[in-house]
Amino acid sequence: MAQKYQNMARYIMKKFAFKKMLLAILLMCMIRVPTQGYARLPLPPNSTVNMNQGNSSSVIFSNSPLSVQIVSDIFNRTEYVKALDYAQISASNIKIQFHSKDSSIFHIWKIPQSLCNSRSAIILTDYITSFESNSTPLVNDFCLFSQFEVVAFYTKLSFHSDSINCSLKYYTASKFNVENPNFICHSDENCIFDSFSPFFIKFDKCGNSNISISMTSQIARNNVQPLNCAVNQLSTIAERGNFLVNNPLGQIKDLNCFDASTQFYKVLGFVAITTFFVIIALSIFCCCFISDNQAGVPVDL
């Protein structure tokens, strides 16, 4: 009898392992890194993604730690990226290995290097982030990325440049077209832009000019996991190594952060106070109504 149960247990384990392996194979077959644009890719444990970027660069993000192996005729090198860190990859042939026993979510935005070079920055927001910056002058054009795992974005931006040709071009993940930005902001304009997908801003023809920026970014998301608040340059992984350039936005001033949990408790407190006063008002109204009815009841003598 014991042997029978052991054989049954082995059969169940083998069947489960086969299904798990089959699921992993199916997921691997479904992995399609875009030739350009944004993608959110679910990956099985310990996955490997091979990419030939050509004349493109990629901004990547994952909930799992990963390593990026750069393959070239001259040398091979490997760089490591922590979980929940953003990085930009400008090498041509790369192999990305995910180091997790659980499934991973891999975000990648593949963009022609002619549109975004290796000098990029990212704005991170928990709920609202606002800042001002001055750059004197910009070395060359660059891109400013939003974070990836967000449901909706609201941005308000104004800037001044001493170059009449300088403009800020917005590109969204949902309607990405290299030739047609979704929105263009010019110097000394108040630019308000909403998006329900990740986006980036291309600083176009702004190189060698002085530029000042005032920006507010607000997000909506479907979780309450605490997020960072920062305006940082992106770490770049290239064939020559991993490097971090100076923030292309220049000096960041008056960085203000409002986290989602504080906002949630403020709303909760407002609702609680409002509910309390409504209950008090209804109680007083009911007491007055009952008193009036009792006063109007006829009494037989």
Least confident stretch, 93-102, 145-154, 222-231, 283-292 = 283-292
Position 245 in a domain: yes
Which residue's entry shows tokens 């960072």?
A: 228
CA dist., res. 229 & res. 109, Å (int)? 21
Give domain status of residue 299, yes or no: no
Residue 227 φ then ψ, to 5°: -120, 160
Interatomic CA distance for residues 220 and 127, integer angstroms? 7
Give the C-alpha separation, 234 to 3, whole Å: 59
Strand partners, 95: 50, 69
Q: CA 150, CA 39: separation in Å to the nearest integer? A: 14
Torsion sign over Cα 124, 200, 84, 70: negative
Phi-psi region of 93 (alpha: psi -120 to 50; beta: other; left: phi over 0): beta
Answer whether residue 281 is part of any domain: no
Of 2-11, 68-77, 184-193, 203-212, least confident by mean pLDDT is: 2-11
Q: Backbone phi, then psi, for 285, in 5-degree steps? A: -60, -45
**Nearest alpha carbon to residue 102 among 63, 138, 131:** 63
Which of 181-195, 248-262, 266-280 has the highest average model confidence (pLDDT)? 181-195
Q: Is residue 111 in some structural domain?
A: yes
Instruction: Kindly report, residue by residue over 21-67, the tens digit of the pLDDT.
Output: 444 444 444 456 778 999 999 999 999 999 999 899 999 999 999 99
Per the structure, the count of domains in the chain is 1
Neighbours of 252 (CB within 10 A): 16
Distance from C-alpha of 271 to C-alpha of 95, rounded to nearest angstrom:
51
Answer yes or no: is 103 within a domain: yes
Structural domain span for residue 44: 37-261
Question: Within a domain: residue 32?
Answer: no
pTM: 0.77
- Asked, for residue 301, whether it belongs to a domain, the answer is no
- Residue 29, helix vs strand vs coil: helix
208's CB contacts (< 8 A; 6+ apart) are 137, 138, 139, 140, 163
Q: Which two tokens stand for residue 217?
A: 């970014």
Instruction: Note the pLDDT of residue 72.
Output: 79
Residue 20 within a domain: no
Interval 132-174: pLDDT, tens: 999 888 888 999 999 998 999 999 999 999 999 999 999 999 9
